Amino acid sequence: MISLRDLTKRYGGKVVVDRLSVDLAPGKVTGFLGPNGAGKSTTMRMVMGLDHPSAGQALIDGKHYAELRHPMRRIGALLDAKAVHPGRTARNHLTAMARSNGLPLRRVDEVLETVGLTEVANRRAGKFSLGMGQRLGIAGALLGDPEILMFDEPVNGLDPDGVRWVRGLMRSLAAEGRTIFVSSHLMSEMQTTADQLVVIGKGKLIADAPISEVIERSSLTAVRVRTPSPEELEKQLLVAGMRVENRGSDELIVHGGTLDAIGGVAHQTGVRLNELSPRSASLEQAYMELTASSVEFGAPSAPAADGAQSGHADGLDEKERV
């Protein structure tokens, strides 16, 4: 388990991570979301002991990373796929990692096969594509067969088949009871992969909840109701504390009520229902609502309909250190 306790990091006068407290449970894929500059990479670096907290703690099974006797057997991480000597082959890179951590050398071939790099194991890492570099980084994380795995943007540079492979790998590792912590900007992929979400903005915790709960909180999540008596039903739904949009002669869009609750109100009112169906928001829509006030490096407005030009996004990436 990874436990963050009031974790805080400052660079000069800038607070990058602000009193972040979460527990990451085993047996789940926990997605780590937030805008560029939110503090995700810095948080992961503090877990791995690469950055030191200004306050608070980042604990791995109750210990700091530096206190782990065999760290690669406890936690594996991919934080930067480029952190490989370009002159080393994939096999030599993993062999050096295994020897320096007292791991059996058979694990090198095992993880190369797992990530699909066996045929290029003797190619220099500097000749790898971005996607191949990501696979090599994942192999390094898996080398110690750890119970905790942490990945920072692991699908960058992967083709659709590779993205699907990473998704299946994470799901299978979580099913084995491991703790999986993964950051990504691909909302559609997180919606498919993650069980739990931790969302931060400007270093602060915004949400720590199951993915279904995060989506259900969205104002775009609603229930579509069709009835021959919309005005009568709308009055009773408002009394019950729900918000209602009247969309026409027989249609209502209801917010803040479950299917059972709305059906119960209709039954008590004696109103016939022709349709009662959920309308769920996407994770992207829910995420955009959650983080709307936390975006530091926002994209410019979309071009106007008359063809007016707008500038380009500033291209800042996730590495938050100043």
pLDDT tens track for 69-119:
899 999 999 998 888 999 999 999 999 999 999 999 999 999 999 999 999
Max intra-chain CA distance, the chain: 76
**Domain range summary for the chain, segments of one domain joined by +:** 2-211, 222-279
Is the pLDDT at 314 greater than 80, yes or no? Answer: no
Measure the CA–CA gap between 48 and 50, rounded to whole angstroms: 6
**Token pair recorded at residue 235:** 């009055």
- pLDDT tens digits for range 125-175: 999 998 899 999 999 999 999 999 999 999 888 889 999 999 999 999 999
Task: Enumerate long-range contacts of 189-193, CB under 8 Å, 24 or more apart.
Answer: 189/155, 189/163, 190/31, 190/33, 190/283, 191/215, 191/282, 191/283, 191/284, 192/167, 193/29, 193/31, 193/167
Q: Report the pLDDT value the prediction gives residue 282, as an integer from 0 to 100.
A: 87
Which residue, 103, 135, 131, is CA-closest to 121?
135
- Provide the CATH topology of domain 2-211: Rossmann fold (3.40.50)
In CATH terms, 222-279 corresponds, of 1.10.3720.10, 3.30.70.980, 3.90.380.10, 3.30.70.100, to 3.30.70.980
Is the pLDDT at 315 greater than 70, yes or no? Answer: no
- pLDDT tens digits for range 251-305: 999 988 889 999 999 999 999 999 999 888 889 988 898 888 877 665 555 454 4
Mean per-residue pLDDT over the chain, rounded: 89
- Residue 239 or residue 295, greater confidence: 239
